[in-house]
Amino acid sequence: MTSKHGSFSLLLDYRRYLFRNADPTYGRSKESQLRRCHRLLDGPLHGVSLFNGSDPLAVLPLLTRFRTAADEMDVTLGEAPYLLAYRICGEAKEDFFQEENGPHGSAVGTSFPHTINYLLTRYAPEDALHTAEMALRTAQQRQDEGERAFYQRLMRLGRRLMGMYDPGQLRYLFLKGLHPSVQAQVELADRTCTTFDELLALSQKIGDGLRAVKVTIGKADRYTKAKSVLQLGSGSGAKV
């Protein structure tokens, strides 16, 4: 199985993150800029974490969500880099300011395409994307992990690659990564599940059933062993 695009070229193309209003002018007062910033924070970007660079690939969902928010609020290409700067904090903010004041300062921080390219180059290099893709493709259900928890972990890994893998491919990776004892039964019933939610519910049901049986058998084994020890001790006592 290969990713839908075969490479990371689409994720790393700055044009993916542009929006409808291509007006390059800024033309807004500082007060107007702050009002729009607060509208972004309280509206489309409400609840979205600031980007601090600790999870470098989080820059991809940041840019994607910002594009959606910009379209909703009719943000212009000219004001975008100033508004995007409000979504960056911590060390990433410090690095951003240093880049603004560096030899390319006239472009980064004032030109949105240059700002995007700076963020992608710094935080989403291809080797990091390859690592994230391998983590997704090789994900396996852990011994102490339920099926729903494994699904949620797999989806988090998938979101880091921002749509490179479609729902059908993620479904395949979920089935492939299930514990073998669960996987064998789920694959037999997979054709009866028309949605991913149905498959997830079925997987959880099968996994819960297998774990319940394992616990029951374990208790029975412990009871049998304890009974044998008691009987052996009783027999030894009789001989004495």
Secondary structure letter of residue 229 according to DSSP: H
Residues 154 and 87 in one domain: no
Domain boundary among 74, 109, 124: 124
* Domain assignment of residue 9, yes or no: no
Which pLDDT tens digit goes with each residue over 53-80? 999 999 998 998 899 888 888 888 888 8
Among 31-35, 49-53, 126-130, 156-160, name the one with the lowest average pLDDT: 31-35
Which pLDDT tens digit goes with each residue over 174-208? 999 999 989 988 888 777 888 889 999 999 999 99
Residues with Cβ within 8 Å of 160's Cβ and at least 6 positions away in sequence, in order, are 57, 58, 60, 132, 136
Tell me what pLDDT residue 151 has.
Answer: 96
Residue 211: which H helix or E strand, with range? Answer: helix 196-239
**How many structural domains is the chain composed of?**
2
Residues 120 and 131 in one domain: no
C-beta of residue 123 within 8 angstroms of C-beta of residue 57: yes
Residues 105 and 137 in one domain: no
* Domain assignment of residue 222, yes or no: yes
For the cut 90, the answer to whether the pLDDT of residue 1 exceeds it is no
Residue 115: which H helix or E strand, with range? Answer: helix 112-123
Residues 86 and 159 in one domain: no
Is 0.85 surpassed by the pTM of this model? no
Domain that holds residue 48: 14-124
* Domain assignment of residue 8, yes or no: no
Residues 227 and 147 in one domain: yes
- Cα distance between residue 101 and residue 119, in whole Å: 15
Residues 159 and 77 in one domain: no
Q: How far is CA 12 from CA 140, 158, 179, 189, in A?
A: 28, 16, 34, 39
